[in-house]
């Protein structure tokens, strides 16, 4: 009973997967990233840098919120103005460790007093 294998059906076209977006800080895949200005816009203005010329990284909303609720504009502009500096910061590392355990789909409230 040799049934000739007719051409098997073509593999289905890959379903349009939502492109996974990865947070540069906590490396979670999240549905949406926000552009975090490594040098805050206000600080950029003081130096005469246009907002669109400021370096940005894609962060999940939780990380972005955390940075802004934890550090002052000044700290962000001077001490934490690169991704490397943020990753090396002890406080940030603690947050990242915590946030990685949180579901990426659920809105995470960064701990902040305000
Ligand atoms: Zn993140």
Ligand 1 midpoint to CA 2 (Å): 56
Ligand 1 midpoint to CA 11 (Å): 35
Residue 71 resides in a domain: yes
Q: What is the pLDDT of residues 8-49, one digit of tens each?
A: 666 665 555 556 799 999 999 998 999 999 999 999 999 999
Give the pLDDT of residue 16. 53
Give the pLDDT of residue 75. 97
Give the pLDDT of residue 114. 41
Ligand 1 midpoint to CA 7 (Å): 46
Residue 21 resides in a domain: no
Residue 22 resides in a domain: no
Distance of alpha carbon 108 from alpha carbon 103, whole angstroms:
8
Q: What is the pLDDT of residues 46-64, one digit of tens each?
A: 999 999 999 999 999 999 9
Give the pLDDT of residue 71. 97
> What tokens does 55 get?
């370096």
Residue 26 resides in a domain: no
Domain that holds residue 79: 38-99
Chain mean pLDDT for the chain: 85
Residue 69 resides in a domain: yes
Q: Which of 76, 65, 48 is nearest to 109 (CA)?
A: 65
Residue 65 resides in a domain: yes
Residue 76 resides in a domain: yes
Ligand 1 midpoint to CA 113 (Å): 20
Residue 23: alpha-carbon gap to chain centroid = 3
Number of domains in the chain: 1
Ligand 1 midpoint to CA 104 (Å): 9
Q: What is the pTM of this model?
A: 0.74
């Amino acid at each position: 009973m040799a049934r000739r294998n007719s051409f098997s059906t073509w593999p289905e076209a890959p379903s349009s997967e939502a492109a996974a977006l990865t947070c540069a800080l906590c490396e979670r895949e999240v549905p949406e990233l926000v552009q975090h200005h490594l040098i805050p816009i206000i600080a950029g203005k003081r130096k005469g840098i246009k907002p669109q010329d400021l370096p940005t990284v894609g962060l999940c909303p939780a990380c972005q919120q955390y940075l802004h609720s934890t550090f002052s504009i000044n700290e962000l502009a001077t001490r934490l103005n690169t991704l490397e500096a943020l990753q090396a910061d002890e406080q940030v590392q603690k947050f990242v460790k915590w946030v990685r355990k949180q579901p990426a789909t659920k809105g995470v409230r960064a701990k902040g007093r305000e």
